[in-house]
Amino acid sequence: MLLKGKIALVTGSTSGIGFACARSLAAEGATIAINGFGKPDSVAAICAELSELSGAPTVYFPADLSQPEDNRNLVQQVQDSFGGVDILIANAGIQHVEAVETFPSQKWDEILAINLSSPFHLIKAVLPLMRRNQWGRIIATASIHSTVASAFKSAYVAAKHGVVGLVKTVALETAGSGITVNAISPGYVWTPLVEQQIPDTMRARGMTREQVLKDVILAAQPSGEFVMVEQIAALALFLCRPEAAQITGANYMMDGGYTAR
């Protein structure tokens, strides 16, 4: 297995993109440390599934990623349990949609803390561990909003632009060390959250399911198709492969052509 013996910390990994990335790494033998929201039974089932895939223990580490100390403690807990961190996927994120004039200041602070400051604190904590081994892979989940803006998403857009700036800077600081640092920027991703919104939108707009998908959700995505979490996970896995050793400081757009216009 490609990643047997490697320790991977994936935040926001109890669902969606993070879980898909954790599964992809586990299938290649990585020992997985997960973090995110979820009921105990659900989290236990996720740990069992990942352990079965990897043949190694999977441990859930709760942490409030809006708090700098919790980010540092999370890395320390993974190090204490497994001996280090070889792969970091900083994926956790939150969103709030509202005009700047009425955007709650608390929401701004929360979004910047989790979407931008958390990756910084996590990267700062894992870098000494990776430098010690002269090998590491850091991947941040960004967004199409790392390069383009949408109205009513000021905090999210600012944070995702900042994530890519952080990735580029750390890539320069670690160049030649065996550590690579990259971002993946998805467009509209098919997740349970999106699926749950479809019936309400159908009723509100008097549309069919197909019309909602094509004319509302995917109107800005030229391919007319969702990005699938498995596709994002496959790219994350590739960035961990030896063939990707010279890819660093990159921001990979996976958006069906959204930002090509």
- Active-site residues, by number, are 156
Helix 154-174, helix 118-133: angle, nearest 10: 20
Query: Can you name the residues that pair with 252 across neighbouring β-strands?
Result: 184
Which has the closest alpha carbon to 257: 216, 204, 209, 221?
221
Burial, 236: exposed, middle or buried (Cβ in 10 Å; 0-12, 13-18, 19+)? buried
The whole-angstrom separation of Cα 223 and Cα 105 is 36
Tell me if residue 185 falls in helix, strand or coil: strand
From CA 102, how far away is CA 140, in angstroms rounded?
Answer: 29
Say how many CA atoms lie within 13 Å of 86 toward its Cβ: 19
Judged by phi (left if over 0) then psi (alpha if -120 to 50, else beta), residue 5 lies in left
Phi, psi angles (nearest 5°) of residue 163:
-60, -45
Q: Are the C-beta atoms of residues 7 and 85 closer than 8 Å to each other?
A: yes
Report the distance separating Cα 161 and Cα 153, nearest Å.
12
